[in-house]
Structure 1
């Protein structure tokens, strides 16, 4: 039995970790059931008429990837005169302007608009760039793709079909996959993370609670909603999560569409990964603090679950992970003593097994992802990649608090491309 504060802290942290992993395996299992159901569905998903869609692509110094992205969007399986492409070249200092001008010149018959901003009206982050693009768009539906994305040919058509056949859907999201997954150990971990937390967990949340969170790319949203809420929040550096909550509060849901897939480039170095994830953490803390009051509101509905979901992941799980690791290190070094090693080892082992099972279930849904090399990576990433998440979560929280206390303007970090 526990007999000192370190025992209680250790057991409490391990129970918290176990609970969060168990919650995610429930979501992943539900997502897998949804996956089986959807891929057995042979219904014809043909659109009787094609609504006009505006595709916004915010881009800041994206010369390395922007040409491939625009060309893939030009090749979408959607009538050429029923969608427009608007690239917001946001205060770029590279040669993005020349690349985009050349593309527009080579496709004179296509609806392509290039908006080049300067440091006065642009350079203020993705939300601001999207708002600029929105004012120049004319579609009844607005689709968003990041500048490093290559959507599959049917991606847009599937999103449009889903939103046109669900009047309560304020937005519809698709999947995104890692196109540089074989580059190194880091990108392989990011690929598995995407399958686990983005693909399966999103599918599970939709299947169980009719909830999804916009991932920032490969999604479509009604223009009427954007006009009603005044566009994107320019203070939010995770504009996708922030706008999701406002869509919920209007009484709409965000639908998950497993048939729409886009491939994106992920960070290939730890420094870029840390900066990107730090932005995610800070941005999600902003969203939590902006919306925490809805936990106690009777009218909040499903928003409560999402708030509790984010709190459990970004606060309880990471605090528990750091606490258990610190106690283990101090105990191993002889600085403190714990007397519940047997219990803690059992709880840790259960959490580890649940983690492996959930990632393996997620991997089984995509061709080529169940392999010996991926199994080895899953066994290792719990002790490596997941621990990095705990560190960046702590750093992100500290930075967020500093920004609030010092009233600093939060800077939007643009992920470096390779």
Structure 2
């Protein structure tokens, strides 16, 4: 009986050891990657004359609270008006979204007319419908790039000038993601979102761009080459995270996704906890779907092609899990294993192999803890000071970031359990009509 117990404990310890090693290697990779996020961001392209033709689609479902301010903001874009068009995708709204577009003289697509069969669910299905109505394959002759925005987004006036210049200078890449900023951060929850984005923007996105790795598409504020999109059937995606799915398709085609650190899209972050959990569960659900369905193709590419670092980087991104999830699993292993030992008073009685694994887990877990503290402390301070006008507050921002990160654990786990279910799109409510981090603006 004792031998059986020792064997079970050793196996459990071994599993935690493998998990701990993976988490620490993953964390170490992102710490090393983060080194390339330091320093002043500098353009590697010149601002050139307006040339690229853009179609801007704004996804909107029951957005009467914010759509007018978004339209007004988009009308401030400083770019040759003959080279871009803006359409609101009024996706089965039952409020005044369409009426507001008409009152403001704004061009829009009304999916409730049902001129085409709906392909997929939620936002990507609405965007696909709009592409169908506007001409689909013929759009390639009229536009070079498609920009996707959400109905709550505000953008910098220079957004098209910057993206045009980078697109031309970099040989017309398949996609470019603009800096994702926050409209609001007055509550701990929305501040947690904002700080997390600031960290990702500099020490993930900018760092990867500097290294020539594939950047991530963030769901809004990105452009995609129209010819590439049409070649692949438009927005015919199967997951709840069409952005990651599009990114993986580009990676598999040996395409490029670039990052622009100099122009921003301001996105409203949830202040309501229940709404936030639903949003992040949808994100996690879609992320895991894309991860599992792309694992085999990506592994095959890893062994088949020479760009192994880029493929490995994408695999780490797909299976990285949230930072809080990783740290919690590591610490949980320590508590469970050592808890067993102290409770039974047999911490060093079972196999030598088990004891050695425990000691290694304990050591690497402290290394992981140190790296997490470094990320939440040093990197957070640097990103906020370099890239934002926000007043740095260590205690409040740390608490907000940890609150955001640790409440992500539930969403990650639920998303993992429901990863096959990609049929229900949960809308995030929007009501902020201005970029304001000091008070709530409705």
- Fold similarity call, TM over 0.5: yes
The correspondence of residues 388-407 of structure 1 with structure 2, limited to 5 A, is 388-401=407-420, 403=421
**Alignment counterpart, residue 45 of structure 1, candidates 44, 47, 59:** 47
1:126 aligns with 2:123: yes
1:231 aligns with 2:234: yes
**Alignment counterpart, residue 403 of structure 2, candidates 377, 380, 384:** 384
Shift of 1:84: 0.7
Q: Secondary structure at the match of 1:68?
A: helix
Q: Which residue of 1 aligns with 2:424?
A: 411
In structure 2, distance between residues paired with 1:83 and 1:282: 34
The correspondence of residues 14-93 of structure 1 with structure 2, limited to 5 A, is 14-33=20-39, 36-38=40-42, 44-47=46-49, 49-93=50-94
Q: Which residue of 2 aligns with 1:318?
A: 325
* Inter-CA distance 234–367: structure 2 relative to 1 (3 Å threshold): closer
CA contact (8 A) 1:52 1:83 kept: yes
**Alignment counterpart, residue 155 of structure 1, candidates 155, 159, 176:** 159
Shift of 1:163: 0.9
Q: Which residue of 2 aligns with 1:109?
A: none
1:253 aligns with 2:256: yes
Shift of 1:77: 0.6
Gaps of 5+ in 1: 105-111, 404-408
CA contact (8 A) 2:189 2:400 kept: no
Q: Secondary structure at the match of 1:88?
A: strand
Q: Which residue of 2 aligns with 1:108?
A: none
Shift of 1:178: 0.8
Q: Which residue of 2 aligns with 1:271?
A: 274
Q: Which residue of 2 aligns with 1:359?
A: 380
In structure 2, distance between residues paired with 1:363 and 1:215: 20
CA contact (8 A) 1:32 1:365 kept: no
CA contact (8 A) 1:53 1:142 kept: yes
Shift of 1:327: 5.1
Q: Secondary structure at the match of 1:400?
A: coil
* Inter-CA distance 369–247: structure 2 relative to 1 (3 Å threshold): same
TM-score (norm 1): 0.84
CA contact (8 A) 2:47 2:161 kept: no
1:284 aligns with 2:276: no
**Count of matched residue positions in the alignment of Structure 1 and Structure 2:** 395
Q: Which residue of 1 aligns with 2:110?
A: 116
CA contact (8 A) 2:155 2:266 kept: yes
Higher-Rg member (1/2) = 2
Gaps of 5+ in 2: 1-8, 348-357, 432-442
CA contact (8 A) 2:198 2:384 kept: yes
1:193 aligns with 2:196: yes
- String of CA shifts for 1:303-340, please: whole Å, max 9, x gaps: 52243222441289836633533653786697677675
Shift of 1:412: 1.5
* Inter-CA distance 30–247: structure 2 relative to 1 (3 Å threshold): same
CA contact (8 A) 1:247 1:253 kept: yes
Query: Once structures 1 and 2 are overlaid, which stretch shifts more, 243-252 or 88-97?
Result: 243-252
In structure 1, distance between residues paired with 2:109 and 2:333: 50
Q: How much is the aligned-residue C-alpha RMSD, in angstroms?
A: 3.0
CA contact (8 A) 1:249 1:300 kept: no
In structure 1, distance between residues paired with 2:411 and 2:232: 32
* Inter-CA distance 316–64: structure 2 relative to 1 (3 Å threshold): closer
In structure 2, distance between residues paired with 1:357 and 1:19: 20
